[in-house]
Amino acid sequence: MIIIFTSLISIIYIPIIFDILKDSNDTNGVSCDKLPNVDYVNKVLNEHNDTINEVTDLGIISVGIDTERCLGRADIILYYTTISQRDKIKIILDKDFFGIPYRMFNV
């Protein structure tokens, strides 16, 4: 009886847990040829430091750029700890950060 009960719980709750985990990261999947060059990304980040501070004031762990995925091109990477933070960041940044795609990861 215990085995059947455990199996029933697994059938009910495991798909729910996977749905939650799947939605915790927010990656936009922009291809390399559509990303801006690294110098431009650095320039925009420096020009909009006030927006970066607004985001980091939410308690976000890290904001940076990813220059390794696409040679000579970059996007913004944000690491956050709660879904509430993610939702607030998306309100601040909208679809992109002043024309630069971003990816968000729950840590």
Q: What is the overall mean pLDDT for the chain?
A: 79
Alpha-carbon Rg for the chain, nearest whole angstrom, is 18
CA 104, chain centre distance (Å): 1
Number of domains making up the chain: 1
pTM passes above 0.85: no
Confidence of residue 14 (pLDDT cuts 50, 70, 90): very low
Residue 24 pLDDT > 80, yes or no? no
Task: Let me know if residue 18 belongs to a domain.
Answer: no
Question: 63 lies in which domain range?
Answer: 27-106
Task: Let me know if residue 65 belongs to a domain.
Answer: yes
Confidence of residue 107 (pLDDT cuts 50, 70, 90): confident
